[in-house]
Amino acid sequence: MKNFYKNKKVLITGHTGFKGSWLTQVLLNWEAEVVGVSLAPNTEPNLFEILGLKAKIKNYFSDIRNLEAMKKIFIDEKPEIVFHLAAQPIVRLSYDDPLGTLSTNIMGTANILEVCKEATSVKSVVIITTDKVYENKEWHYAYRENDPLGGHDPYSSSKAAADIVTNSYIQSFFNPEDFGTKHNALVAIARAGNVIGGGDWAEYRLIPDVIKAIYHTDTHVEIRNPEAVRPWQHVLEPLSGYLMLAEELYNKKKELSGAWNFGPNNDSFVSVRVLAEGAKEILGKGEYKINPDTTKHEANLLKLDINKAIAVLGWKPLLSFKETLDLTFNWYKNYYENGEDIVEYTNKQINSFLK
Ligand SMILES: NC(=O)c1ccc[n+]([C@@H]2O[C@H](COP(=O)([O-])OP(=O)(O)OC[C@H]3O[C@@H](n4cnc5c(N)ncnc54)[C@H](O)[C@@H]3O)[C@@H](O)[C@H]2O)c1
């Protein structure tokens, strides 16, 4: 992948966010030319500034809901590969601002697809949705790519809608059957689970909640839903899937257009309580108390079936749950306590993962 991405023009939406900052750093290490399109970072601290990314890429602070602004960026920058991550990604915030969530996640995605359709430079597009796009039956079976979509909360429904819109663009404008005649780009949808790793300080997420309680406010970690089982995975796991997928699409593997699940190994489907215990063990602190809050519905059990990615793409999750926790909490430990240069430390984690 390193050779492939060298000198490629890659546009990332959501590059100021948690996953986008990691993706930007990986691509910079591979000497890709990165263009970033997002709102300015909205947490303090944030990984985008910690890694000093603004100075290393072509940076746009621009709203994906603004179609004219997106058109101009695509015309000026002529990206070859597009990773679309920009979104309002928090379930609980989607209850406070359903319309903002719907407009960013649905129309923002439609705008990105529309400008990709018009841009002759674009060859490969990966649209990032989520495991929450599936109609959640709260059962133990894992969801496959062709299972029905749904969404109880506004976030899940907005992502399911974005997924459906993307599929419609694939059928209508990026149909693999018309590839090379009517269009020259291939599009895929990537659905991942609960992503963790160093450098996330978002609201209403377990890891940032743990970190802020320990290092910012010196309080107990409050856990809303201790028995909820989530598919925890380190951020580099789904990112490696997105990167593999974009490369294959660029290389004209038209059969790979469509939806993909990128979930963790079975041992990483664990409860919030088990994860909080693991954090306490690694950090040596982090007492938690359970403060149930059922006022806003959140899914309890969600498993992804990743057999398609394993069999067809050759992707698979590499890290055990223990390794995922170690990478995550040791990153914060280094940031707050050990003080090794954080860009170097982040790159060390990236390099050891890639190896
Ligand atoms: N973190 C997870 O556990 C997880 C799990 C599954 C899917 N996802 C998906 O992955 C993607 C990235 O998530 P994240 O955790 O990095 O989120 P994040 O909140 O850290 O980052 C979101 C990014 O989107 C940008 N953004 C938001 N609204 C925008 C707008 N209107 N215009 C332009 N940019 C806008 C933000 O500026 C930021 O760069 C999202 O699409 C999310 O739905 C995340």
Q: What is the pLDDT of residue 195?
A: 96
Q: How far is the CA of 162 from the centre of ligand 1 (A)?
A: 13
Q: At which residue do the structure tokens 């691509």 appear?
A: 27
Residues in the chain predicted with pLDDT less than 70, given as ranges, are 299-300
Q: Residue 264 carries which side chain, given as an amino acid letter? A: P
Atom of ligand 1 nearest to the CA of 86: 24
Kind plus residue range of the DSSP H or E element containing 331: helix 321-333
pTM of the model: 0.97
Q: What is the pLDDT of residues 252-310, one digit of tens each?
A: 999 999 999 999 988 898 999 999 999 999 999 988 888 887 777 776 677 899 999 99
Number of domains in the chain: 1
C-beta of 39 in contact with ligand 1 (< 6 A): yes
Alpha helices by DSSP H, 60-153: 67-77, 91-96, 98-102, 108-118
Listed residue (353, 74, 309) closest to 189, CA to CA: 309
CATH of the domain at 333: 3.40.50.720
Beta strand 81-84 with 9-13 is parallel
| Number of neighbouring beta carbons within 10 Å of residue 329 | 25
C-beta of 158 in contact with ligand 1 (< 6 A): no
Instruction: Give the rounded distance of the alpha carbon of 181 from its chain centre.
Output: 32
Listed residue (225, 235, 215, 305) closest to 266, CA to CA: 305
C-beta of 195 in contact with ligand 1 (< 6 A): yes
Q: What is the pLDDT of residues 319-330, one digit of tens each?
A: 999 999 999 999
Q: Residue 259 carries which side chain, given as an amino acid letter? A: A
Going by CA atoms, what residue is nearest to atom 34 of ligand 1?
38
Range of the domain at 125: 2-354
Q: From residue 242, how far is each of 134, 154, 202, 268, 341 by CA, in Å? A: 19, 25, 22, 20, 27
Distance CA 279, CA 273 (A): 10
Q: At which residue do the structure tokens 């406010």 appear?
A: 217
Q: What angle do CA 62, 66, 68 make, to 5 degrees?
A: 105
Those residues whose C-beta lies under 8 Å from the C-beta of residue 180, and which sit 6 or more positions away, are 252
Q: How far is the CA of 182 from the centre of ligand 1 (A)?
A: 32
Q: What is the pLDDT of residue 76?
A: 98
C-beta of 97 in contact with ligand 1 (< 6 A): no
Q: Residue 218 carries which side chain, given as an amino acid letter? A: D
Distance CA 14, CA 18 (A): 8
Q: What is the pLDDT of residue 300?
A: 66
The shares of helix, strand and coil residues in the chain, as percent rounded to the nearest 5, are 45, 15, 35
